[in-house]
Each structure stands twice: as C-alpha cells, then as structure tokens.
Amino acid sequence: MRIKLDLHNHSCLSPCANDDFTPALLAVQAMECGINVLALSDHNTCLNNPAFKEVCTLCGIFPLFGIEVNTIEDVHVLVLFERLEDSLEFGSYIDFLLPPIKNDPKLFGNQLIVDADGNTKGILEKSLLSTSGISFEDTIEEGLSRDALIIPAHIDRPANSALANLGFLPDLSYTAVEAIRPDGVIGKANGKTIITGSDAHAFEQVGRRAFELDVEELSFPGIKEGLRRGPAIFRH
C-alpha cells in the first residue's frame, strides 16, 4: 500500500513556531492534506506529544512521537517513537542534558505546553534552542537502543545539519536521511533512503514537503521497513 507521510513538524512548544500552532491544528491540517503518518518533533522536548496522541486519534492519523535533538555539534536529528511513553522517557533524558539556560520569550518566542483542545497547561522556561549535551553519534546509538526511527534532519541545510556542521554524513545505522532537495544529496547519503519533511512551524507549512512510501502494512514495523527499503516518492 502507498501512504503519505510527514515526519518533521513542530508545535507551539518550539520557540520558533507560532503560538497558535497547536498539536490539534497540526493534525487537522495534516488530515486535510491527506497525510496518513504524522510526526511531532519539537526541539529537544516531547511534552506536547500527549496532546498530539489525542488529536491524531480523533483525526484518524497514525502518529509518531518524536523530538528533534540538537546535538553538541549543533546538528539536528529526528528521533521518532512508536509509543508515547517511550518518547516521554527519552525527552526526559534530553531535558536532563540540556543546560539550565532560561528562555527569553521576547527574543526567541514562547514555549507553550498545551492540551488536545489547545489550552495552555504550562510554559516551559528552560531554553529549547540550546545544544543538548549529547553528541551526534551518541544520539544515534541511544535512539537505536530504544527502537526509535533515527533520521538526520535536513542534511543539506547550511546550518544545523550533518553536511554543514560535520562536513560529511557519518556512515551510521540511520533509518533514513532527510533533505530539502533530495536530488542534491544523492551520493552523500551512504545508501540510505532520502526523504523530505515539512519542518512546519505554522499551519500553512504543513504538508509542504510530505512524501509517499510503499509499505506492506500501516504499522511501526511496516513504516520502518518501508523507509529502509525505499525509495521515497516526492510530489511537490
């Protein structure tokens, strides 16, 4: 079966996202775009994943509970889980490694924890834009040990990417790699399936770089195997 996926999205908990971009708005907009599998991957936190789970259930979307880790090298990595509880546990681990720097909402934006209805439950004070205190390679190993999907993010971006910050993509056991322009990284992805992701920070960005994938079944193992086998199909 062919499914449509968007595995890189933020919510109002990421300081660089719009305050009104709640998990509910993300899921509803993804449903309108015909997306079957959707991930929430806020910067260095998983605290809006509980609300995300509720709204994806209501919208009939298969959720992946994620986080975009910012490593010591300032490289972004998507770590995506099948189970909400596993994402929250990993999120607590990353939170422990984050430096105790307070967010400045006037400079960087708010960090809003919300429920499924979009009501604010709390405001996270620790800055989520800091590097997390874990290396790129250790992020990969830690995520794999927890049976997560591991996807280096936007590897062709001029900042916060493996190619820009490391100079190359290490040959490690990624599930896939994400690029903004897939044709430009062929030969640099170590044979891994190349995908795109919307990296949405506002509702109008949802689905802008979704991709399609052939899978045997709509399940976490099916998605993992589909990503391993590839190829991703782009219809932008």
Angle, in degrees to the nearest 10, between helices 49-59 and 84-97: 150
Walk along the chain (236 residues) and give the pLDDT tens digit of each residue.
999 999 999 999 999 999 999 999 999 999 999 999 999 999 999 999 999 999 999 999 999 999 999 999 999 999 999 999 999 999 999 999 999 999 999 999 999 999 999 999 999 999 999 999 999 999 999 999 999 999 999 999 999 999 999 999 999 999 999 999 999 999 899 999 999 999 999 999 999 999 999 999 999 999 999 999 999 999 86
- Asked if residue 234 belongs to a domain, the reply is no
* pLDDT of res. 139: 98
- Asked if residue 129 belongs to a domain, the reply is yes
pTM over the 0.85 mark: yes
Range of the domain at 45: 2-229
* pLDDT of res. 91: 98
What is the domain count for the chain?
1
- Asked if residue 236 belongs to a domain, the reply is no
- Asked if residue 185 belongs to a domain, the reply is yes
- Asked if residue 235 belongs to a domain, the reply is no
Q: Residue 170: which CATH number?
A: 3.20.20.140
